[in-house]
Amino acid sequence: MPKLLAMVLAGALWLPAAAQTRAALAGPDGELPPSALTIRRVVPEVQMLFAAEDHRGRPVRSLSAPEIRVLDNGMAAPLTSLQAAAGMPLRLALLLDTSDSMRPGFAAARQTALASLRRAQHSADDQIFALSFATGQEAGTGSNPAGALATCRLGGQTALYNALISAAGILDSSTPARRVLLLLSDGEDNYSQSTLEEAVAALQRASVAVYAVTVHSSRLEYPGDRVLRQLAAATGGRAFLLHSYAGFSTVFGDMENDLRSQYLVGFRPLGSLAPEEFHAVKILPLTRGTLIRARAGYYVRSEK
């Protein structure tokens, strides 16, 4: 979650009620010794989620700070914290493409989406959303996401980038959470006013990891495949190309493994911190055989 947390360390010696304390600490000349002076420092911190697995794809659940290195714009950033994130609440949105380009496998895609909703929620603190999109219209953010998916209809052009930005806004929140977008789409867009770059930026600002699924023959390569891979790589998720929706249980299992192996790392950002500036981040494992999956960076948020 790319939030800059200002930790202001300030003494209380300048409060009127501390006059006696000041007098007691002052020397013969009435001046305070250097050790008694108030120190005021602002130390920004960035927090980011990442998933760790071993060479066999199994979650790594005992990672420690000396086993990773964080590069902020290419420079080694001092770590401030590292903790397992499996206990954090989950905010998950399932985004189903209902445009005409999905017609051949739409019925199977919708059934897969409904089955995923039933598996997704493990805690009362988790929040699950379902959205469908075609010509820029999204629906299903109420208390009955399964009902919204069951009644969504096929048809229209594809406004994928608009829908991704809307989903990022829905998943964003001021409280700590793991934010995941499960996208069932062919990756094509022929209607959005927004661009792919704007969609990626919105997802990164909201700390949303995209798990994208498309279905077609592995012997074919479509332009949308590249889009889905880019979304996954930029946000710390994954892209899956399936032969059929029958293999979707593997996708959901991989996503659940990632969620169980997530960590929240805190570090001090380096260099310029201009509002809305993008910092590229790499979280590197120092233990051989460990794979780390994280989003590509964060945006410096404006002070409010």
Asked whether residue 190 is domain-assigned, the answer is yes
Residue 86, SS3 per DSSP:
coil
Regarding whether 295 and 243 lie in a shared domain, the answer is no
Regarding whether 191 and 124 lie in a shared domain, the answer is yes
Asked whether residue 14 is domain-assigned, the answer is no
pLDDT at 3: 40
Regarding whether 275 and 139 lie in a shared domain, the answer is no
Q: CA-based Rg of the chain, rounded to a whole angstrom?
A: 23
Regarding whether 228 and 98 lie in a shared domain, the answer is yes
Q: What is the pTM of this model?
A: 0.83
Residues 27-86 have pLDDT tens digits of: 556 555 555 555 554 568 999 999 999 999 899 999 999 999 999 999 999 999 999 998
User: With pLDDT > 90 as the criterion, what percentage of the chain qualifies?
Assistant: 60
In this structure, how many other beta carbons lie within 10 angstroms of the beta carbon of residue 118? 9
Asked whether residue 15 is domain-assigned, the answer is no
In this structure, how many other beta carbons lie within 10 angstroms of the beta carbon of residue 136? 18
What total number of domains does the chain contain?
A: 2
Regarding whether 146 and 199 lie in a shared domain, the answer is yes
The alpha carbon dihedral of 147, 152, 158, 159 has a sign of negative
Residues 265-299 have pLDDT tens digits of: 999 998 889 999 999 999 999 999 999 999 999 99
Q: Which domain holds residue 146?
A: 92-253
Q: What is the 3-state secondary structure (H, E, C) of 201-223?
A: HHHHHCCEEEEEEEECCCCCCCH
Structure tokens at 64: 């420690």
CATH of the domain at 228: 3.40.50.410
